[in-house]
């Protein structure tokens, strides 16, 4: 409470947030599949007491420091004070080889930038091809033939004794 000129105020218990103009990356898409068009999400948190308008991101994918493909750009958004939202862009991975890449994410807002570099894993999508199916069928048929032949041989061998 505060005692001022004979008046006493009530006790107030509230959380006081003192913010600074800063937008943080809290999470992102960590794994994608190759040979497809995939959404790449960036989860951001406004650490300021005001709205952040025109927040957008540029994403560069690097392999050993070399840029892979085009730079992705997200549409800009407005994020309320202390809120968390998602920025998204589509990544064409049709020509990207499986492996671990560095994603260099640059958030742009109010003349400021937040830069983070994070690992992203590109995985090969498991595909069932006609060759795989036919090979499996042939192997199973050969295995069944061998089992039948062994059973027939064992059965005939017992009769001879």
Residue pLDDT tens, the chain, 161 long: 667 777 777 777 766 667 789 999 999 999 999 999 999 999 999 999 999 999 999 999 999 999 999 999 999 999 999 999 999 999 999 999 999 999 999 999 999 999 999 999 999 977 677 887 888 889 999 999 999 988 888 877 666 65
Query: Alpha helices, DSSP H only, in the chain?
Result: 130-160
Helix/strand/coil for 80:
coil
Distances (CA, A) of 149 to 142, 152, 153, 156, 157: 10, 5, 6, 11, 12
* DSSP class per residue in 44-70: EEE-SSS-EEEEEEEEEEEETTEE-SP
């Amino acid at each position: 409470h505060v005692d001022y000129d004979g008046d006493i105020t009530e006790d107030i218990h509230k959380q006081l947030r003192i913010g600074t103009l800063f937008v943080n990356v809290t999470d992102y898409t960590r794994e994608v599949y190759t040979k497809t068009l995939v959404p790449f999400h960036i989860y951001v948190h406004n650490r300021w007491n005001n709205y952040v308008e025109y927040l957008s991101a540029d994403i560069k994918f690097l392999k050993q420091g070399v840029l892979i493909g085009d730079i992705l750009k997200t549409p800009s958004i407005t994020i309320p004070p202390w809120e968390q939202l998602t920025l998204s862009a589509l990544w064409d991975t049709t020509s990207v080889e499986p492996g671990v890449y560095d994603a260099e994410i640059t958030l742009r807002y109010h003349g400021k930038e937040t830069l983070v570099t994070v690992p992203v894993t590109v995985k090969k999508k498991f595909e069932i091809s006609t060759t795989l199916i036919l090979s499996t069928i042939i192997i199973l048929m050969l295995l069944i033939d061998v089992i039948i032949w062994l059973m027939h041989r064992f059965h005939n061998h017992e009769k001879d004794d």
